[in-house]
Each structure stands twice: as C-alpha cells, then as structure tokens.
Amino acid sequence: MKHTKYSPSEINKWLNCPPSLSESNLLDIEYIKLESIHCALQELKNKYSIPDDDCDLEDAFQFTEDLREPYLKEVNNDTA
C-alpha cells in the first residue's frame, strides 16, 4: 500500500483548521494523533484480550510513547 503525502493546507482542510497554524497548534495536533494511536492500541488490547507480555504490542506502545515523549516534555515546559 502506498501512503500519500498531503500538503499542510489539505490537512488543515480535513481537520477544519484555519489555513495558517502556528507551530504550537501543529504540535498539539501531532500529540492528539499520537494519543489517539495509543488509545486505539489499548482498546485493541482489551477487546482481544491480548496479554501484557505480547512483544508486538509492547513494541507498538513503546514506539508510540517514544514519539509522544517530545510533546509531553514541551507541554511540561509550557506549564512550568
């Protein structure tokens, strides 16, 4: 399957965002996407009773958390 790259204006249109987003707004959107992936993984784990020690699921959680980490650090810096 080939994944298509979309321009920011196309993405904004789909997300109903204004055409000019600040960098912090884009970071918020990226964080929300990563958080959604993390939640979806958790829902799949619960729905299909996947054991906690499943290596593939652990890798997926770790990968998502590693991607999400910079956004969490930025949020913590903004609130400090």
Ordered per-residue pLDDT tens for the chain, 80 residues = 344 454 555 555 545 555 555 666 777 888 888 889 999 999 999 999 999 999 999 999 999 999 988 887 776 676 66
Total number of domains constituting the chain: 1
Residue at 46 is within a domain: yes
CA distance 57 to 59: 5
Amino acid at 11: I
Residue at 39 is within a domain: yes
Residue at 66 is within a domain: yes
Residue at 34 is within a domain: yes
CA distance 40 to 42: 5
Threshold 0.75, pTM exceeds? no
| Domain residue limits at 43 | 22-79
- Identify whether the C-beta of residue 26 lies closer than 8 Å to the C-beta of residue 16: no
CA distance 20 to 70: 23
Which residues have C-beta within 8 Å of that of residue 74, sequence separation ≥ 6?
27
